[in-house]
Structure 1
Amino acid sequence: MNGTDAGGPGGAAARLTGRSAQSVRRLSPTMAQVTLDGGDVVVVKRGHGPGATRAEAAGLRWLAAAGAVPLPAVRGVDDQWLVIDRVATGRPTAAAAERLGRELAVLHAEGAPAFGAPPPGGPADAWIGLAPMADVPGESWPQWYAERRVLPYLRRAVDAGIMTHEEAAVVERVCERLDERAGPPEPPARLHGDLWSGNVLWGGDGQAWLIDPAAHGGHRETDLAMLQLFGCPHLEHVLAGYQEMAPLAGGWAGRVGVHQLFPLLVHAVLFGRGYAGQAVAAARSAG
């Protein structure tokens, strides 16, 4: 990325906020921290695919509208760039984790029009990280989850030689029995959608902030299963806070593997064979 020229993050920040960029600090090849005239600091992100910036902006606004969990405000967006407030980070604490659990329960309870429904104004062709994700509404969570999340990436993994047909059959058997494995029916929840620990920022204000959503209508256990997938500081306090506000249906711990299937398959397609074994193990844990 360039610096403050019109084609770089500084120029994008100036154009989308109406305030000149005073300095630019690169954070990655696609992201920079920009100090605006007046001293405000924003993060400027360049989209990695069609609709990515608008999907993220719509997700941030939809989640923020619930008034539950802190999220960085959207300062501006176009087809290439997204400008959001910077979050000053601190250290994770048990108190912040417990508060996050309670706030997630409130966020989920705000609901969604349907499973797979995109945020208002968000594209149906969305993203989870660097992977495409179709937000196509469905009425039954087990059927929608199998057809719109798990099986498309399972097919891609097999076609790419990342998973064997025998391994794929283990996942397919879980999909065939999702009606039995999904637990009691629940209404569509308002999900962050990509809630691994890297998308939780422990703020300097003592709160946990959420970033980089793949927001959509889904099952509330999915966000919690994502937090458990790659480790989350003080996870037991997050879960305790959640259970205090909105107890999960009995047997939820045995369904974690079901909800981890989609992100593990996405990781297998993006990053290779190591995640394929984890996906198969998650399927086996789901029975």
Structure 2
Amino acid sequence: MDLAYLRAHPQHLPTFLTHQRIRETPVSGGVCTARRLTLDDGTSIFAKSWPSGPAPDGMFTSEAAGLGWLLAAGAVDVPEVFTALEDLLALEWITPGSPSRSAAADFGRGLARTHRSGAPAFGASWPGWIGPLPLDNTPSAGPWGSWFATRRLLPYLRLSVDRGALSADDATVVEEILKTIDAYGGSEPPARVHGDLWPGNLLWGADGRCRLVDPAAHGGHRETDLATLALFGGAPFLDVILAAYREEWPLADGWEARVPLHQLHLLLVHTAAFGGSYRGAVMAAADRVLRS
């Protein structure tokens, strides 16, 4: 199998893998099993599958749809999708490189243009996934505040409590934010967002370009993407990304005070998916929101 054959017959990739006709090298892949595949013509591709049993329904096709939708804005780079099957996703292999100020500035401008290309509604027309958890993408006209509270915060708050990562008292604190979410302002029409834009989902290539990977793409609030870029140590050259973004599309007044509100979504996903080690981050963000 070479790249031309793969593009023409993407459904045949699992057969070649089953019969060990393609060289495989394990690589890091987060919650999935990831491999670097080397084709007969020397081309490398990145493939991932679920580590045990069938993949959750729609996970890989949803990711592929999100990558295509982000690319359609014509402003940010994403890996090319070669194969998107229920149990296998194969993408263009990007040789890793080092972040740079120029790549960060280009990315910031591209992200602003991507957001500005908009979305028909909050949510999306495909089922959503974020990490190992489903994401309710049922399209909604908004307003943003109530949609964010009911579709992006409450489900993961409940799951975090059910799984013992947060206590009932913790939930009461977060629920105060849900009750008064409209008071924090910042409502905007739906933007075309990545949806899971923590720094690990920026792929800095050896060609000097930054690409978006692992999206949970949907129509959402652009400030959510920017807020999550600051999580877990922050993206490299975050100040450059934000400055370039704001030159391309200025942010609404008060955006800095809303950062912890937007971060709550991904932090609650982490308590729901990975447990109580993220409780402190959730409660610190909630405290900052309530004091804002």
- Report if TM-score (shorter chain) is over 0.5: yes
Check the 8 A contact 1:41/1:86 in 2, yes or no: yes
State the match for 2:248 in structure 1: 245
Determine which of 76, 82, 87 is the counterpart of 1:80: 87
State the match for 1:149 in structure 2: 152
Q: 5 Å matches for 1:247-286?
A: 247-286=250-289
State the match for 2:26 in structure 1: 26
State the match for 1:15 in structure 2: 12
Determine which of 176, 181, 189 is the counterpart of 1:178: 181
1:22/1:117 CA distance change after superposition, 3 Å: closer
Q: Secondary structure at the match of 1:113?
A: coil
Determine which of 206, 210, 213 is the counterpart of 2:212: 210
CA distance in 1, matches of 2:184, 2:212: 29
Identity %: 47
What's the CA shift for 1:143? 0.6
Check the 8 A contact 1:109/1:190 in 2, yes or no: yes
Structure 1 runs of 4+ aligned residues shifted over 6 Å read 17-20
State the match for 2:162 in structure 1: 159
Matched to 2:217, the amino acid is A
CA distance in 2, matches of 1:116, 1:77: 21
Check the 8 A contact 1:17/1:75 in 2, yes or no: no
Instruction: Count how many residue pairs are aligned between Structure 1 and Structure 2.
Output: 271
State the match for 1:91 in structure 2: 98
Matched to 2:86, the amino acid is D
1:14/1:217 CA distance change after superposition, 3 Å: closer
Q: 5 Å matches for 1:41-52?
A: 41-47=44-50, 48-52=55-59
TM superposition score normalised by structure 1:
0.89
CA distance in 2, matches of 1:224, 1:174: 20
Check the 8 A contact 1:200/1:210 in 2, yes or no: yes
1:165/1:227 CA distance change after superposition, 3 Å: same
What's the CA shift for 1:279? 1.1
CA distance in 2, matches of 1:76, 1:176: 43
Q: Secondary structure at the match of 1:70?
A: coil
Q: Secondary structure at the match of 1:195?
A: coil
Check the 8 A contact 1:23/1:34 in 2, yes or no: yes
CA distance in 1, matches of 2:251, 2:110: 15
CA distance in 1, matches of 2:269, 2:224: 14
1:136/1:14 CA distance change after superposition, 3 Å: closer
State the match for 1:104 in structure 2: 111
State the match for 1:8 in structure 2: none
Check the 8 A contact 1:34/1:43 in 2, yes or no: yes
State the match for 1:9 in structure 2: none
CA distance in 2, matches of 1:53, 1:46: 8
TM superposition score normalised by structure 2:
0.88
Check the 8 A contact 1:13/1:19 in 2, yes or no: no
What's the CA shift for 1:263? 0.7
Q: Secondary structure at the match of 1:286?
A: helix
Q: Aligned Cα RMSD in Å?
A: 2.1
CA distance in 2, matches of 1:70, 1:111: 17
CA distance in 2, matches of 1:158, 1:45: 30
What's the CA shift for 1:237? 0.4
CA distance in 1, matches of 2:276, 2:38: 41
| Unmatched segments (≥5 aa) in structure 1 | 5-11
State the match for 1:7 in structure 2: none
Q: Secondary structure at the match of 1:228?
A: coil
Matched to 1:252, the amino acid is W
